[in-house]
Amino acid sequence: MTNRIHAAEYSAVVCAGIVSVCIGVAFIFPLAASFQPLFNGKNGIAFNYSNLFRITAYTFKIALGSTLTAAAAGIPAAFFTANRSFPGRRFLLSLSAVPLCIPPLIIALGFVGTFGMNGALNTILMRILHLKNPPFTFLYSSAGVIIAQGFYNFPLVMAVVSTSWENLPVDERDAARMLGADERHIFFTVTIHQLSPAVAAACIPVFLYCFFSFMIVLLFGTIGGTTLEVEIYQAARTTLDFKTASVYALIETSFALAVISAYSKIKPAYAAESPASAHRYNRTKIGDALYESRSMKTAEYVSGILLGTVIVLFFLSPLAGILAGSITGKEGAYVFIKIIHSAGFRNALLGTLETAPFSALLCIITAFVYAWILRVRDPLGQNTLLQTLPMLPMAVSSVVMGYGMTLLVHHGTVPALIAAQAALAWPLAFRQIYASMCAIPQDTLDTAELLSDTPPDTLFRIVLPSCRESIISSFSFCFAVSMGDTTLPLVLSVPRFDTLALYTYRLASSYKFAASCACGTLLCILCILLFSLGKKHD
Amino acid sequence: MTNCFSAENLYRVWDSVTIDFSFTVEKGTMTVIVGRSGSGKSSVLRLIAGLEKFSLRSDGKKPVITLNGNEITDLAPGKRGIGMIFQNHALFNHLSAADNVAYGLRCKGIHKAEARKRAEEYLSLVGLTGFGSRRTDTLSGGEAQRVSLARTLIMQPPLVLFDEPLSALDAPLRKKLAADIRSSQKKENFTGIFVTHDIAEAKAVADRIILMKAGRVQWQGRPEDFSENMID
């Protein structure tokens, strides 16, 4: 009996190892394949260099603009959530789940439903103010892309900076206070330096998300205003200019790798910012802090109201706009019943269930195996190479991965889609599982090893049960991410296959806006449910 | 001797302890508040410094803090004329040692070159000649605490609060720094309130000891009259 258990344990370990290697292969081979056309042919690459510079500069501008917008809203919001108590504080903090669980496509639809020419806000304002033309016309421009992406990602900056701000050691600021510095001077000479690692740690991933942003640019981008990601897609899928697609892919990935390398250097500095002081400030009401001057109090109230208005306008309204967009069509709320009973929706739902759970399963297996290797091989977290490897998928976009996979398998297939999704998403699971694995004391592992018959015993009886919560949580999270992914299914174009996200996109691009919003709302609800389920186990 | 400092009705309610504390300190002396962890010693210093809010008393008595005859209860921390040394040094790690020491002077609007020159003088005073350009995260615990002392003394405050400044250091260094603090206090003639849980350290620096238990004054008197078993 014991032998049979040991045999099963060993088999499970071998299988998990094989799965992880396969996911590694599913990452490296498509990535290599995406650059392979660069080495084909004898005449070298012939393409427009000025286009290359224009598109790279535009991509950089959009990503930087969006990151600055996210920081401009996220850092002041973090000040309020970390230092002040006010009604809605918890709700504001909970918004940090939105960029993680609501796909960008849905946000894009929300912006169209709110700020589009026939959007809810434009319609209301035109009626109230008797205007002939819609007042908000920024949507289909660079500003529209920057605002949509910036506000979509601002809760991420807010959450990271807020947590750091809350835990900042207060003694340095108190020392500055005792030496006669006023609150403004303290912010610029002390707090900003204490916060800078957290700001960088929050902004770099946001910059990368925006750098790789595909769906929002595809929907809102203007003629001539296109990003590397969209150009790779167009070259690979529409004009079939693989060399151009590969050049763009190489530039995009190299730049992202440089950013990742900077991020990996900043991350330890941010992690080292631990709460060192026994004293913590209690959150005060807005304008009620100790010794704040009257002008500072007024500034705090005014900036709080302004920030709240901007967040409601550019973040909450588009979210509400998705629902509004679905029920304000000709069919009203009946559109939901109609869409649920449609064959297209059923197929899409089946397609989603055919991919997302398997992709999530592969993610957690790979994440667990790598986390265990890291825990054993580098218990002190000092091996830079091993620690940086899980960040590499962050440097590869879905479009590049999909493009490389298409070059490898020629025709998109469901297993290729699952493998590509898992190859990019497993680091999301890794972070959670590795954190819970690191929380197991070394003494516990050593004792377990001494008492175990075989090495896998420790893994199955101690490590796996200790990481159970994080495994469930990351499974739900990866499930939601895969379910909301529009890009890979679009790029791989599996014949006669749809997912909910892809179906929503198809409805939107065929101008069935109400049906698209209804499908998006349902997708959004499913993602939130899954995400909340994961959070319960976090 | 005249009272330099007095604090009446310092009152603050925490979950674990209620502080209800009144005491006076004579000019140019060092008063040490001794007590177990959680007895409220550090909170008393933070209330005096203005870094914590008072709780409202049911009997309506208001807290009153006076320094050199002036009431400072409602003044901002930087305007009270009080210096404070923190347990973890609280140095600004993005600044050099000299810039740390010059920070308060710069807040007062003193020109950078002048502030820097005076900072170097005070660094020498605490035995750190030539340390001005060092980053503070490269300093040892003892050196960091000396920079912190110089940063406080350069402002020439009439009252200096020491919040367990030596607790993070090893025993021989603690003894040495306690003696240095005592000699600086005599030389600069400032009034000090020193918080610690270490009896030997308390006796080494104190002119007077106050024993604090559960947020209240339990005993006060001369160091030679204080014995360790009073704490239990």
Q: How far is CA A5 from the centre of its chain?
A: 40
Q: What's the structural domain count of chain A?
A: 2
In sequence order, which residues have a C-beta less than 8 Å from that of residue A136 and are 6 or more positions away?
Answer: A115, A119, A121, A122, A125
- Residue A273 domain-assigned (yes or no): no
The count of other CB atoms within 10 Å of the CB of residue A79 is 21
- Same domain membership, residue A124 and residue A144: yes
Q: What's the structural domain count of chain B?
A: 1
Among A193, A277, A290, whose Cβ lies nearest the Cβ of B94? A193
Q: pLDDT tens across B79-103, in order?
A: 999 999 998 889 998 999 999 999 9
- The residue that leads in pLDDT, A191 or A332, is A191
Nearest to B82 by CA among B46, B108, B130: B46
Pairing of strands B18-26, A84-85: unpaired
Among B42, B84, B92, whose Cβ lies nearest the Cβ of A178? B84
Q: How far is CA A447 from the centre of its chain?
A: 39
- What is the token pair recorded at A42? 């004898």
Interface test with A, best of B45, B88, B107, B159 (most A CBs within 10 A): B107
Q: pLDDT tens across B25-64, in order?
A: 999 999 999 998 888 899 999 999 999 889 988 888 899 9
- What is the token pair recorded at A130? 């008797």
DSSP H/E element including A99: helix A98-101
- In this structure, is the dihedral angle defined by the CA atoms of residues A68, A72, A73 and A77, taken in order, positive or negative? positive
Tell me which chain B residues have a C-beta less than 8 angstroms from the C-beta of A278.
42, 87
SS3 (DSSP) at A157: helix
| Interface residues from chain A to B (CB-CB < 8 Å) | 169, 171-172, 174-182, 185, 189-190, 193, 276-279, 290-291
Evaluate if residue B155 carries a pLDDT over 70.
yes
Please classify residue B102 by burial: count the beta carbons closer than 10 Å to its beta carbon, then call 0-12 exposed, 13-18 middle and 19+ buried: buried
Cross-chain Cβ contact A172/B91 below 8 Å: yes
Q: How far apart are CA A198 and CA A206, in angstroms?
A: 13
- Same domain membership, residue A484 and residue A383: yes
What CATH number does residue B216 fall under? 3.40.50.300
Q: Give the residue numbers spanning the domain of B44.
A: 3-230
What CATH number does residue A114 fall under? 1.10.3720.10
| Phi, psi (deg, nearest 5) at residue B197 | -110, 0
- Same domain membership, residue A468 and residue A452: yes
**CA atoms lying within 13 Å on the CB side of residue A101:** 26
- Residue A263 domain-assigned (yes or no): no
| Interface residues from chain B to A (CB-CB < 8 Å) | 42, 46, 49-51, 53, 76-79, 82-84, 86-88, 90-94, 103-104, 107-108, 148, 151-152, 155
- Do the Cβ atoms of A319 and A92 come closer than 8 Å? no
Cross-chain Cβ contact B78/A277 below 8 Å: no
- Same domain membership, residue A94 and residue A4: no
- The residue that leads in pLDDT, A69 or A529, is A69
Cross-chain Cβ contact A174/B90 below 8 Å: yes
Cross-chain Cβ contact B78/A172 below 8 Å: no
Q: pLDDT tens across A252-295, in order?
A: 999 999 998 888 777 655 555 444 445 566 677 777 777 677 78
| Mean pLDDT taken over chain A | 86
- What is the token pair recorded at A218? 């595809």
Q: How far apart are CA B84 and CA B49, in angstroms?
A: 8
pLDDT-derived band at B228, boundaries 50, 70, 90: confident
- Same domain membership, residue A490 and residue A400: yes
- Same domain membership, residue A389 and residue A323: no
- Same domain membership, residue A333 and residue A315: no
- Residue A252 domain-assigned (yes or no): no
Q: Give the residue numbers spanning the domain of A139.
A: 64-225+300-328
Provide the 8-state DSSP code for B10.
E
Closest approach of chain B CAs to the CA of A180, in angstroms? 4
State residue A272's pLDDT score: 54
- Same domain membership, residue A152 and residue A124: yes
State residue A277's pLDDT score: 46
Among B53, B78, B88, whose Cβ lies nearest the Cβ of A178? B78
Cross-chain Cβ contact A181/B94 below 8 Å: no
- Residue A510 domain-assigned (yes or no): yes
**Complex prediction ipTM:** 0.90
- Residue A251 domain-assigned (yes or no): no
Tell me which chain A residues have a C-beta less than 8 angstroms from the C-beta of B44.
none
Residue that the structure tokens 């009073």 belong to? B230
| Mean pLDDT taken over chain B | 90
Among B76, B90, B152, whose Cβ lies nearest the Cβ of A171? B90
Pairing of strands B3-13, B18-26: antiparallel
Among B83, B88, B93, whose Cβ lies nearest the Cβ of A178? B83
Q: pLDDT tens across B170-213, in order?
A: 888 888 889 889 988 888 889 999 999 988 899 989 999 999 99
Evaluate if residue A429 carries a pLDDT over 80.
yes
State residue B151's pLDDT score: 95
- In this structure, is the dihedral angle defined by the CA atoms of residues A196, A197, A203 and A208, taken in order, positive or negative? positive
- Residue A307 domain-assigned (yes or no): yes
Angle among Cα B56, B57, B59 to the nearest 5 degrees reads: 145
Evaluate if residue A42 carries a pLDDT over 70.
no
- Residue A126 domain-assigned (yes or no): yes
Among B46, B53, B107, whose Cβ lies nearest the Cβ of A179? B107
- What is the token pair recorded at A389? 């490897």
- Same domain membership, residue A525 and residue A381: yes
Closest approach of chain A CAs to the CA of B200, in angstroms? 24
- Do the Cβ atoms of A46 and A251 come closer than 8 Å? no
In the predicted model, what is the mean pLDDT of residues B100-119?
94
Provide the 8-state DSSP code for B217.
E
- Same domain membership, residue A217 and residue A337: no
Q: How far apart are CA A152 and CA A100, in angstroms?
A: 10
